[in-house]
Amino acid sequence: GQIKNNTATKSGGGIFNQGTINKSGGSITGNTANQHGGGVYNQGTFNLKGGYITGNKATNEGGGVYVTGTGVFTMNGGVIDGCKAKKGGGVAVANGGTFIMNNGTITGCNTDNEGGGLYIDEGSVNLAGGSITNSYTSNNSTNGSIWLNGDKADMTISGPVTIKGKN
């Protein structure tokens, strides 16, 4: 199924989750949040198997996905593409959230400031396979594909991952 072209006055343009969601395939496309999580705002458990999160926007953090608090977002395959935010165009992880990527793709995402593909601020990320490519910051700084903000940001690479900035 599709979750398409929605707007949230605060967070979670496409989905605002504080429970458990198991999503297989489909798309979350063209959604907008005036705060965090253009495609998905996750403070619960979100398991994505395949599918697409594309063309979503957030005014602040997490154009595609925003993971916060006790939230855990697990991406098993699938694509996050063409999403935009102030920080974390593809994915933003904050306030203790956890993002796990198993053989997924984050591509073509951009930000105004930090972490075109992935922004980690007081959270944890495990990249167990996949790629983060062609993501960038609009201000042409060195803060391109991945940005870890301070000593409370944790990233583990436990499998084959390709990380490449904008061509």
User: Bridge-partner residues for 147, per DSSP?
Assistant: 119
pTM as predicted: 0.96
Q: Which amino acid is at 106?
A: I
List the pLDDT tens digit at each of the 167 positions of the chain: 899 999 999 999 999 999 999 999 999 999 999 999 999 999 999 999 999 999 999 999 999 999 999 999 999 999 999 999 999 999 999 999 999 999 999 999 999 888 999 999 999 999 999 999 999 888 765 557 899 888 889 999 999 999 987 76
Question: How far is 162 from 140, CA to CA, in rounded Å?
Answer: 21
In angstroms, what CA-CA distances link 117 with 62, 83, 151?
Answer: 9, 9, 20
Instruction: Please give the structure tokens belonging to residue 89.
Output: 């165009």
Residue (of 167, 98, 107, 158) closest to 131 by Cα position = 107
Q: Exposure of 140 by Cβ count < 10 A (0-12 exposed, 13-18 middle, 19+ buried)? A: exposed
* Chain centre distance of CA 77: 14
